[in-house]
Amino acid sequence: MLRLSFFARTFIVLCFPVMGLAEHHSDIASKASTNSALEYPQQQWQTKSPQELGIAGERINRLFDLSFADSATQAAVLIKDGFLVGERYAEGFDQSSYGTSWSMAKSFYASLIGISIDRGEIASLDDKVALYLDYFGDQRAEISIRDLLDMTSGLEMPDHEHEKMFFSSDHLAYARAVGVEKPAQEKFEYNNVNSMLLADILESATGQKADVLLKERVFDKIGLTDATLWRDSAGNPLTYCCVDTTARQYSRFGLLFARSGNWNGEQIISQDYVNETFSKVWTGLESSTIEQDRGYSLHWWISRHDEEAVIFNASGKFGQYIFVDRENDIVFTRITKYHPTGGSVQDWGVLSYINWLGSVNFRRKAAEVLDYLGIIELNSAIKTPVTYDDGTSKEFFENYQTIIDSLVDISRQ
């Protein structure tokens, strides 16, 4: 795997005008600021047919057919030029059905860092975390906010990959106690603790809980008003996972980044921050589920970055995705089957007695067995995001490269 240096990333950004990408993104932001050319959804998305947007219908059908080759798919939504151009739902689900984000939420909460920088509450991505969290004044003192967002903090990464945090009653207390394992910026490690610490940084910088900030500073402004923002039992917002909403609503957040942080003339997140987010920092990242080299930057994944297309995505466990192609003004959202347990505060109920056992997959399967045997009824016994076997992807991961190719093909002339 390769991490691009600061100077290499600066060189790439400076060279974008030559390649035509910066002008295009600047044009999008300019048009959005004048509110004269771009479509934004109001309470509902406006629709257009593929033909009205100059897209061959069979290309869209292929993208959706590939996505629904996996029985775990609950919904897929395609947005082009701000219009809903296609959507499909599994049997028993519709446009009002919630999915859960899992780690797509990382991208949501990371946007608040950019907004706090814009507002002067945080000076820079390169600020040391210790400026905001006094307990980082130990061996963690050299870790920056950028290190957390790029997953290069060097914080401890055990074999269980901090799955235990999800089953704890106080996720923030868990995250605060995690020490250093290696120097910052040395290695990419996808560590949920990095993201959970954003809850503490944002509250220190702003005086407000991160989920309150997300609602007021982002969701309310883009009309994403139908959502559940999960907290742990101690009242901490879960900034590394767990926002529930519909596929259509997730697509609003994708459109915000497709439009370089502008929404109907209001610059909600600075274009500079979105540009930096959509830059190549890590490349060649391996995956146990996806046979494709990927990259990572500021809590977003890179799914394609070549002469054909630049596509980033917010990504969540079991196969949740918001793909964003800024150059072609495309958002493609895919979520897996989800059965909400209700509530917004995590409560393991009777399952707290087995939450110290095994991996997350073991605990999930154990809970399903107990439910099947009639010992407990999961949807009433617990309050937490949970994905069962029917929402666990397989074919979508196996076909990932082909799906990205199909998404790129939407914009080919």
Let me know whether 367 and 324 are in one domain.
no
Residue at 386: amino acid letter: V
Please check whether residues 362 and 309 belong to one and the same domain: no
> Which residues have C-beta within 8 Å of that of residue 327, sequence separation ≥ 6?
21, 24, 25, 309, 310
**Is 11 in the same domain as 63?**
yes
pLDDT number for residue 358:
65
CATH number at residue 63: 3.40.710.10
258 shares its domain with 362 = no
Whether the Cβ atoms of residue 222 and residue 256 lie closer than 8 Å to each other: yes
Residue 282 and residue 235 share a domain: yes
Question: From the first residue on, what is the mean pLDDT of each consecutive set of 10 residues in the chain (413 residues)?
Answer: 46 38 49 66 97 95 98 98 98 98 98 98 98 98 98 93 91 98 94 98 98 98 97 98 98 98 98 95 69 83 92 97 98 98 92 70 75 77 92 96 96 83
363 exposure class (CB count in 10 Å sphere: 0-12, 13-18, 19+): buried
pLDDT at 369: 83
Domain identity same for 213 and 359: no
Same domain, 221 and 367: no
Is 374 found in the same domain as 284?
no
Q: What is the pLDDT of residue 106?
A: 98
Q: Domain check: are 300 and 362 in the same one?
A: no
213 and 355 fall within a common domain: no
Q: Domain check: are 159 and 298 in the same one?
A: yes
Which residues span the domain enclosing 35? 2-341+389-409
Residues 109 and 228 in one domain: yes
CB 347 within 8 A of CB 373: no
